[in-house]
Amino acid sequence: MNNLLARYAENIFWMARYMERAENLARILDVHETFSRDVHGFKNWHTIVRLNGDDKAFYGRYQTATAESVVRFYVLDSQNPTSIIFAVRAARENARVLRPWISTEMWAQINVFHNTMQTLTSADVSLPNISRVCGKIKEACQNHTGITEGTFYRDEGWYFYLLGKFIERADQATRLLDIGFNTLTGSTEGSNASQDFVQSHALLRSVAGYHAFRRVYPRGMTPAAIAGFILYNESFPRSVVLCVREINAVLTRLKSRYKLRGGNAAMERIDEIMAALNSRTIEQVIEDGLHDYLDLLQVRLSAVTSELSRSFFGYQPPEVSQQQEA
């Protein structure tokens, strides 16, 4: 059987990751603008900076976290490795290398998306336009997902695409929960309660989970229930557990269908993550410290990527790639 060129596997993996990342970043910015205002109309844009662990990079370049500066930093700043424009460019660079491999439609869509991003100006991302721009970016990413689903040939490469997508999505979900959860106070009365409602709403919206959550919990909306939903819900497409199960299934498929010899180490890391996800209730996790728990998940997801690099992307010891972990 003709196996996939190792470098292609790596490029496919990262193309998927960067597109998924761009979508998640757009979701965060969009939701933040639309929903996360407290009763005084104050928007805590600093939250986003913290969410991405970018305090140092951000305040090295901007004085205060205003809507303008934060959005510019995360949408337009090509020097910022956690910006959308950076993610899209990286996705496009990977896609460019993959042009003999991916469908023409996939390539053309990413290329046009990238070209459009290059033409965005500060005015385009000024406060009144943020939601529209983020919406367009999200749509472009979903376009990519749809075109990929409908045109990408389903061989080995497809599985590396899924690996990249689900690892990134799981990682982004933990980051989002980490910061979103901290803004929730758990109050049931007074102005804190109404702020909680707005923040909970925003958190769920940013993972497109509000309606699904409502279906599962028609009456209550406690911070613990939201955290549990994002981490453990077996049917929610952006939950951590669902992503991890998908990764596991893909790795199994690569072994059985394509007889890949590598991948055992990555599967062991996945087993560890599954164990962590199954061991405790959300209440216990919160009591012991949600932040540390999410941190651990991120570290283990990153370990999965390292194992994939070692097993599949390099043949020889991994040039742990120059591509960006979030």
Partner 1 sequence: MSRYDQGGFYDELFGGNGNTAPHAALIRERLAALDFADIHRRSEDAARELYNLGITFLIYSEQEAEDRILPFDVIPRVLSAAEWRRIEAGVVQRVTALNLFLRDIYHDRKIIKDGVIPEDLVLGNSNYRPQMIGLKVPFDTYIHILGVDLVRDGEGVFRVLEDNGRVPSGVSYVVENRHMMQRVFPDLMQNLGIRPVDNYGSKLLQAVSEIAPSNLKDPRVVLLSPGSYNSAYFEHIFLAREMGVPLVEGSDLVVIDDRVYMKTTNGLAQVDSIYRRIGDDFLDPRAFNSDSLLGVPGILEAYRKGNVALANAIGTGVADDKAVYCYVPRMIKYYLGEEALLPNVQTNICREAEGLQYTLDHLAELVVKPVGEAGGYGITLGPLATKAELEDCRTKLLADPSNYISQPMVPLSVCPTLAESAVEPRHVDLRPFVVTGRNTWVLPGGLTRVAMRRGTFIVNSSQGGGSKDTWVLEDDAP
Which parts of this chain interact with partner 1 (CB under 8 A)?
Answer: 2-9, 93, 96-97, 99-101, 104, 107-108, 111-112, 115, 156, 160, 254, 258-262, 312-316
Closest contact distance (angstroms) between CB of 247 and partner 1 is 16
Cβ-based nearer residue to partner 1, 184 or 260: 260
State how far the Cα of 306 lies from the Cα of 311, in Å rounded to an integer.
Answer: 9
Nearest to 242 by CA among 268, 274, 217: 274
Looking up tokens 């923040």 gives 199
Closest contact distance (angstroms) between CB of 53 and partner 1 is 31
Query: 154 with 254: CB under 8 angstroms?
Result: no
Closest contact distance (angstroms) between CB of 218 and partner 1 is 46
Cβ-based nearer residue to partner 1, 48 or 98: 98
User: DSSP class of residue 306?
Assistant: H
Closest contact distance (angstroms) between CB of 205 and partner 1 is 33
Closest contact distance (angstroms) between CB of 162 and partner 1 is 14
Query: 188 with 200: CB under 8 angstroms?
Result: no
Cβ-based nearer residue to partner 1, 97 or 225: 97
* Phi–psi pair at 210, nearest 5 degrees: -60, -50
CA distances 20 to 48, 90, 163, 267, 310, Å, are 18, 12, 11, 22, 23
> Please, what is the end-to-end C-alpha distance for the chain in angstroms?
34
Q: How many other CB atoms sit within 10 Å of the CB of residue 245?
A: 16
Cβ-based nearer residue to partner 1, 118 or 235: 118
* Token pair listed for 84: 């959308």
Cβ-based nearer residue to partner 1, 308 or 326: 308
State how far the Cα of 249 lies from the Cα of 148, in Å rounded to an integer.
Answer: 19
Closest contact distance (angstroms) between CB of 230 and partner 1 is 32
Cβ-based nearer residue to partner 1, 115 or 185: 115
Cβ-based nearer residue to partner 1, 6 or 296: 6
State how far the Cα of 113 lies from the Cα of 118, in Å rounded to an integer.
Answer: 9
Cβ-based nearer residue to partner 1, 222 or 306: 306
Nearest to 125 by CA among 55, 206, 198, 30: 30
State how far the Cα of 281 lies from the Cα of 303, in Å rounded to an integer.
Answer: 24
State how far the Cα of 231 lies from the Cα of 85, in Å rounded to an integer.
Answer: 28
CA atoms within 13 A on the CB side of 94: 25
Closest contact distance (angstroms) between CB of 52 and partner 1 is 29
